[in-house]
Amino acid sequence: MTYNGWTNKETWLVNLWVGDSIEEYMSPEEYESYVEAFVETIEESGFVRDLFNCAWYEINWQELSEHTEDL
């Protein structure tokens, strides 16, 4: 099952909230580390509320990295 063209809702939400802030020069590994650190360190925001009831382990980090490469 997909969600808005992404693997799942969790992956789509991470791209929605963080995708535009990623620097184009980041490698996929740097991107993955950046996003994971961002997700782990933020506290109260709309992003956290959106993901509150989501399964964090479902986030497809590889898909997000590949999407950034395509930009």
Domain membership flag for residue 31: yes
Residue 65 lies in a domain: yes
Q: Tell me: the pLDDT tens digits for 3-20?
A: 999 998 888 887 887 766
Q: What is the mean pLDDT of the chain?
A: 75
Domain enclosing residue 39, as ranges: 9-70
Q: What is the average pLDDT across 28-45?
A: 72
Q: Report if residue 1 sits inside a domain.
A: no
Is-contact 36 61, C-beta < 8 A? yes
Q: What is the number of structural domains in the chain?
A: 1
pTM summary value: 0.43
- One-letter-per-residue 3-state SS of the chain: CCECCECCHHHHHHHHHHHHHCCCCCCHHHHHHHHHHHHHHCCCCHHHHHHCCCCHHHCCHHHHHHHHHHC
**% residues pLDDT > 70 (the chain):** 66
Looking at the predicted structure, is the pLDDT value of residue 23 above 80?
no
pLDDT value for 6: 92
- Cα–Cα distance, 31 to 37 (Å, whole number): 10
Question: Is 2 inside any structural domain?
Answer: no
